[in-house]
Amino acid sequence: RVRAKHGVAILYDCHSIRSNIPFLFDGTLPDFNIGTNLGATCDPMIETLTSEICSQAQGYSAVLNGRFKGGWTTRHYGRPEINQHAIQMELAQSTYLTAEEAPWSYDESRAAKLRTHLTEILKTLADLAPALRGKS
């Protein structure tokens, strides 16, 4: 519907996960885990701009197509050849929580700091969208 109306659609699939889950993976996840199925689910500029914003975010770590390369939603809907782009952002819960286990303590100051970077990503992608219309 969005693509039909505007000629382009960008799905930003954003959710979070505990930064340490020993039974699933060793070590600590980066703060921003960006997935594009190795660039297959979106225009390269979407991947580049998102990755740059995350990499330049002071006090945060970021990885592109690391442990999370884009799940079902990203892979199913990401079809850049028809101007339907999808990118996944897996956020470490430590970026907005004081405790990553029950009772999951929300930290307003951490969340506010994180929100500035997420807002920058979404505004950047919204500004990019019109330029993508003529690329398919």
Query: pLDDT of 66-115, one tens digit each?
Result: 989 999 999 999 999 999 999 999 999 999 999 998 888 999 999 999 99
Residue 136 has pLDDT above 70, yes or no: no
* Residues counted in the chain: 136
Lowest mean pLDDT among 13-17, 32-36, 108-112, 130-134: 130-134
CATH 3.30.2290.10 assigned to 2-131:
no
* Domain limits, the chain: 2-131
- Count other Cβ atoms within 10 Å, centred on residue 32: 25
Nearest-10 crossing angle of helices 108-132, 44-56: 150
Lowest mean pLDDT among 17-26, 37-46, 112-121: 17-26
pLDDT of the residue at 118 = 98
Pairwise CA distance, residues 50 & 34, whole Å = 8
pTM of the complete model: 0.93
Pairwise CA distance, residues 11 & 77, whole Å = 8
In the structure encoding, which two tokens stand for residue 16, read together? 């979070």
